[in-house]
Amino acid sequence: MKARFVVLGGVLVAIVAASVFAPWLSPVDPNAIDLSATFQSPGWHHWFGTDQMGRDVFTRTLYGGRISLSIAFCAVLLAGFFGAIAGLLSAYLGGAFDATLMRVVDAQYALPPVFLAMLIVGICGPSVTNIVIVVTLANWGRFARIIRAEALSLRERDFILIARLAGAKPLYVVWRHLLPNVRNTFAVLLTLDIGLVIFMEAALSFVGLGVQPPDPSWGGMIADGRNYLDTAWWLSALPGLVLIATVLCSNRIGESLQRGEGAAR
Amino acid sequence: MNILSVQDLVVQTPAARLVDGVSFAVRAGRTLGLVGESGSGKSVTCLSVLGLPPRGVQVSEGRILFDGEDLRTQTPAQLNALRGREIGMILQDPMTSLNPLLTIGRQITEMFRYRDGIASRAERRARAIDLLRRVRIPAPESRLDSYPHQFSGGMRQRVAIAINLACNPRLLIADEPTTALDITVRLQILDLLREVQSERGTAIVLVTHDLHLVRRYCDDVAVMYAGLIVEQGPVEAVFARPRHPYTKGLLGAVPRLRDLQHRLTVIPGQPPLPGSIAQGCRFAPRCPRAQADCASTYPAMRALDSQRSVACWHPEPSAAASDSLLAATTS
Amino acid sequence: MSALEVSDISRAFPIRNGLFARPASLRAVERVSFELPQGGTFGLVGESGSGKSTLARLILGADEPTDGEVRFGDRVFGRRTQDRHKRWRQRAVQAVLQDPFGSLDPQMSIGDIVLEPLRIQQHDFARDALQKRLDELLMQVGLPQEFRHRRPGELSGGQRQRVAIARALVLEPEILVLDEPVSALDVSIQAQVLNLLKDLQDALGLSYLLISHDLAVVAFMSSHIGVLYLGRFMEQGTRDDIVERAAHPYTHALIAASEPDALDVQADVQPISGEIPSPLAPPSGCVFHTRCPAARDICRTDAPTEQRLSETHRVTCHFPIIPQV
């Protein structure tokens, strides 16, 4: 069990590290066009081959990873932070606040991220910041709901009652008792969410609402390579594989964390 | 004639031996009480006899003889058949033995249909109503179409007993059947079991921590501690003159209504964790009578007479009157 | 001099059976009155639906009564209570609850758990003063000093209850409300904790309100006992009044059920039949009449009023069982 964790972690760390150290790993401009070397299949000079404009796919995959991963991490942290606070407040305050917030969360669930993206990109134009905003807005509800549920069941526990009977104020209870006890769930949620968010961003870029060309992104590269699947499969397949590997690894790690947490309880 | 005879049963997980060599037997028409606290291994023993050990737990040694046949040699299909007909079980929480999605009537008649092949729906219903009446559920005709959650805890246990009755089992294993019920309902359920027993000669193994119930409903008792039986014999004899210090301590720890104690007998410390392997007697660290040999060698079960046995190097003297349940309730 | 006096206290919960049904009311506690003498133990015994936990919450201040009042000395707590009285209660009345697993925050260390009420109420304690108090309390409840760094997950049920008791003592209370404090524990551990509670009461002069479904535990600990059924007192009196001279059929049923092995000796007492009715639909007249072996017509129609059998002994029954002397 532990070995698997190490392997998965290793793969994920390798991908992230590769993206971070992209300029050193592949000191080539990802947007450099070389029309004399188009559609080269993967080989010694170009590990992942080149695309229709002669750009090195490997370099683009690395740089695309930088963008995709940083969007993902930012969005997950923002969604997690705001979602968790909303969930905790909702659970503790209850009443009208809780009811209203939960309806807002319902609305968020009901709205497909693509529509939200179209709306925001349509109004504000495409940019990395706007994608982060879109993905955060499309994602915070999960955290709010799950943290709220956890906090609700905690609220009924006797140790909370004893603290309240001794005169503890609501903010004290949230800070001293609710927060530390939802920490574990929160950490697991964050890990599980990364895969989801990477995928969401890839999907948005795939339909053209995400990272704009010529900047590379995994989703965008997969989209671009669609038309050449039978002649230059590596254009979509290789970035696609890296995307899948990243998402799979982070999901599996999240699941093991979840199970590990379960055992500790 | 022993309906059930368990010999040298060992049940373990990869990390620990939960039951470490347990032997007991039950005859037709008699009830054996299996008594112990948490961690004693009494529930695991029962579940293992039924062939339903929890996940990760395995029977590794010993024989479980039901009517002479070793259950450990049976295939899962054979065991399943046995459990449906010859061996019944009543567990603590009847919600887990009743399907919450089916009506009571459906669950009972299902059995008549598939096991007994009774084709007529009317007849199946009639039999089910009869069963419910037998366990004294009021207005059984209307209750057939109710779901388990619409019954109270006591009623659900009656239904569980009814389902067991339909099988006419020779052996009934009841694991804390009344612990989750209100006090005034407990006796009704156990009286019902006793009636069934006297009608059909069923052998019953009653697992419980409640010593009062053991004294009223059991013929024999086996006291378990840390995965082993430390004392067994007829209930009256064991409770009147317990020979093992743990049994004596346990009996003294129970508060009595009459002849009130000023302080309860305390067994200091805690039971050992399953898996902590002790050299000698497992009770020695807490035992007021422990001596040097207790910690070094394990005392095997020794017969005191034709019916009683105890696992102790220095058992309580036989003549001593005991500070026990019996003293308080006979006057 | 009473530590606690409860007068005619009631708690009803409004129940809505759907949008169009008439609002009904769950009368969890119905006109209950009793006194807890200073330094003594009042034992409340009852099964499910008896309202005993609701009563505990009313006395602790976790809930407000719909009617009646609770008096601690000359401090009155009713539908409107003075703030200073509430602050007093936050210190002087503490609780030890049933679930040893739920009553301790799994994320906190034992030391922090025990000291928490002190930290909540007072902010100006020096670290070593706190440390000393902690050591003192751990010793009083029989736990080793080094436990202060452990987490609840590392302790057994009995040890956790000791921690809960230590926590309940940290503010130097006068009254402890013990709600099923040993029900979740093994017999031998139960004995340890009950003895400990008795010793602490003697040493610290505490008054206890003990709530349990186990009549033997209540009889062991209490000087006075009250028998609850569906939110109403059936009988109350000193321990001997109840155990030796029980007058209510329900008390007799509880006694029989608590010591069933004595039944064979006392052939005249039979275990009662039937189930506890739902508190949502209590029977008419005397709420016990549906299960009472001695019920007569008047029991179905008229609720009995409380009778005094002696200075201490009161019973609510049309036909109390009075032994012929």
Q: In this structure, what DSSP letter does residue B174 have?
A: E
% of chain B exceeding 70 in pLDDT: 96
User: What confidence score (pLDDT) does residue C262 get?
Assistant: 66
Tell me the chain C residues in contact with residue B328 when contact means C-beta distances shorter than 8 Å.
262
CA–CA distance, B280 with B314 (Å, rounded to integer) = 13
pLDDT band at A264 (very low <50, low <70, confident <90, very high): very low
Tracing tokens 């409840």 back to the chain, one arrives at: C141
Q: What per-residue confidence (pLDDT) applies to B331?
A: 39
B165-185 mean pLDDT? 86
pLDDT 10s digits, C160-219: 999 999 999 999 999 999 999 998 888 999 999 999 999 999 999 999 999 999 999 999
> pTM of the entire structure?
0.84
Confidence of residue B319 (pLDDT cuts 50, 70, 90): low
Cα–Cα separations (whole angstroms), residue B287 to A141, B245, B265: 58, 7, 12
CB contact under 8 A, B249 and C188: yes
When pLDDT is averaged across residues C143-152 and rounded to a whole number, the result is 93
Q: Which residue of C has its CA nearest to A173?
A: C120
Mean pLDDT of chain B: 86
Residues contacting residue C88 through CB under 8 Å, at least 6 positions apart: C72, C75
Question: pLDDT for C224-238, tens place per residue?
Answer: 999 999 999 999 999
Degrees to nearest 5, angle at CA C53 with B260 and C61: 115
Average pLDDT score over residue span C145-159: 92
Exposure string (b/e) for C278-288, b if CB count within 10 Å is 16 or more?
A: ebeebbebbbb
pLDDT at B313 over 80: yes
State mean pLDDT over B290-300.
Answer: 87
Task: Identify the pLDDT of residue C213.
Answer: 92
Residue to mutate among A150, A165, A182, with most C CBs inside 10 A, is A165
Q: CA A179, CA A151: separation in Å to the nearest integer?
A: 8
The reply to whether residue A172 touches residue C60, judged by beta carbons under 8 angstroms, is no
Q: What is the pLDDT of residue C264?
A: 53
Instruction: Determine the residue type at B32.
Output: L
Neighbours of C150 (CB within 10 A): 16
CA distances C286 to C232, C248, C262, C270, C316, Å, are: 10, 12, 28, 20, 9
Residues forming a β-bridge with C224: C42, C238
Give the tens place of pLDDT for each residue, B195-225: 889 988 999 999 998 898 999 899 999 999 9
Q: What number is the average pLDDT over the span B47-73?
A: 89
Residue A261 reports pLDDT greater than 60: no
Sign of CA dihedral A176, A177, A178, A184: positive
Q: Do chains B and C touch (3 or more CB pairs under 8 A)?
A: yes
Size of interface B-C (CB pairs under 8 A): 118
Dihedral sign of CA atoms A32, A37, A42, A45 in order: negative
Return the higher-pLDDT residue of C210 and C74. Answer: C210
β-bridge partners, C238: C224
Contact of C91 with chain B, judged by CB distance below 8 Å, is answered with no
| Preferred mutation among B178, B179, B184 to probe C, highest tally of C CBs within 10 A | B184
Secondary element (H or E) of residue C161: helix C157-169
Q: Is C191 helix (H, G, I), strand (E, B) or coil?
A: helix
Lowest mean pLDDT among A202-206, B324-328, C319-323: B324-328
- The pLDDT tens digits for A216-247 are 888 888 888 888 888 888 888 888 898 888 88
Question: What are the helix (H) ranges across C93-148?
Answer: 110-121, 127-140
| Subunits close to B (at least 3 CB pairs below 8 A) | C
For chain C, the chains sharing at least 3 beta-carbon pairs closer than 8 angstroms are: A, B
Q: Between chain B and chain A, are at least 3 CB pairs below 8 A?
A: no
Split at pLDDT 50, 70, 90, the class of A57 is: confident
What pLDDT is stored for residue A265 in this prediction? 37
Q: What is the pLDDT of residue C144?
A: 93
Among all residues of chain B, which has the CA nearest to that of C199?
B263
Tell whether B266 is within 8 A of chain C (Cβ): yes
* Residue B330: per-residue pLDDT: 45
Contacts of A57 by beta carbon, 8 Å cutoff, 6+ apart? A42, A46, A48, A49, A50, A51, A221, A234, A235, A238, A239
The whole-number pLDDT of residue A68 equals 87
Burial of A262 (0-12, 13-18, 19+ CB in 10 A): exposed
Give yes or no for a contact between B228 and B20, defined as CB atoms under 8 angstroms apart. Answer: yes
pLDDT (tens digit per residue) in B73-92: 888 888 888 887 889 888 88
Residue B105 φ/ψ, nearest 5 degrees = -60, -45
The rounded percent of chain A whose pLDDT value lies above 90 is: 17
Query: Could you report the predicted ipTM of this complex, rounded to two decimals?
Result: 0.88
Nearest to B23 by CA among B1, B45, B52: B45
Nearest to A166 among C90, C98, C108 (CB): C90
Cβ-defined contact of B183 to C257 (cutoff 8 Å): yes
Distance from CA of B184 to the nearest CA of C (A): 6
Is some CB atom of chain A closer than 8 A to the CB atom of C116?
Answer: yes
Nearest CA in chain C to A153: C102
Q: How many CB atoms lie within 10 A of CB A93?
A: 13
CA distances from A130 to A211, A212, A222 (A): 10, 12, 21
- Beta-strand ranges (E) seen in B67-184 are 69-70, 87-90, 171-175
DSSP secondary structure letters along B1-27: -EEEEEEEEEEE-SS-EEEEEEEEEEE
Q: From residue B70, give the alpha-carbon distance in Å to each of B4, B44, B66, B77, B287.
A: 10, 18, 6, 15, 36
